[in-house]
Amino acid sequence: MKPSPLAQHSTDEAAQPRMVRLIDAERARLTFSLDGAPATAREGDTILTAVLTARRYLAESAGGEGTRAGFCLMGACQECWVAVDGTRARACSALVTAGMSVATGGHFTVG
């Protein structure tokens, strides 16, 4: 297939997070730590929702080609494992909690 001529980010799009809140968006806010920096989520967000409403990707691919942003969202594909407070969690299944420390980088996701 031809490489896309539209591959560059436009600045507008890059500034927007990946997921868009449409229903029940105004739930209580909570703060957690995402790769060492403070981040905001909503009560009842999965870790994946919390990350993808803050930025456009989740983590580097475990297989080593580019980034991934989750795929099946139902616990089957196993692409969204992240490090959480010293253990591992599937980001699409585990809910984010106040004060949680989520690390998506490097060797944490290689399994």
* Contact footprint for another protein (CB under 8 A): 1-4, 6-7, 9, 13, 16, 18-25, 27-28, 42-46, 49, 52-53, 56-58, 61-79, 81, 83, 86-89, 92-93, 95, 108, 111
Are the beta carbons of 37 and 105 closer than 8 angstroms?
Answer: no
Q: Which residue has the tokens 């969202």?
A: 73
Give min distance, CB of 38 to another protein, in A. Answer: 21
Q: How far is the CB of 39 from another protein (least distance, A)?
A: 16
Write the DSSP assignment of 76-111 as a string of letters.
SS---EEEETTEEEETTTSBP-TT-EEE-SGGGG--
> What residue type is 17 in one-letter code?
P
Cβ nearer to another protein, comparing 12 with 37: 12
Minimum distance, C-beta of residue 71 to another protein, in the bound complex (Å): 6
Q: Please identify, using beta-carbon distances, which residue of 10 and 37 lies nearer to another protein.
A: 10
Please report how close the Cβ of residue 98 comes to another protein at its closest, in angstroms.
12
Q: Cα–Cα distance between 45 and 32 in angstroms, integer? A: 12
Cα–Cα distance for residue pair 22/32, rounded to 1 Å: 22
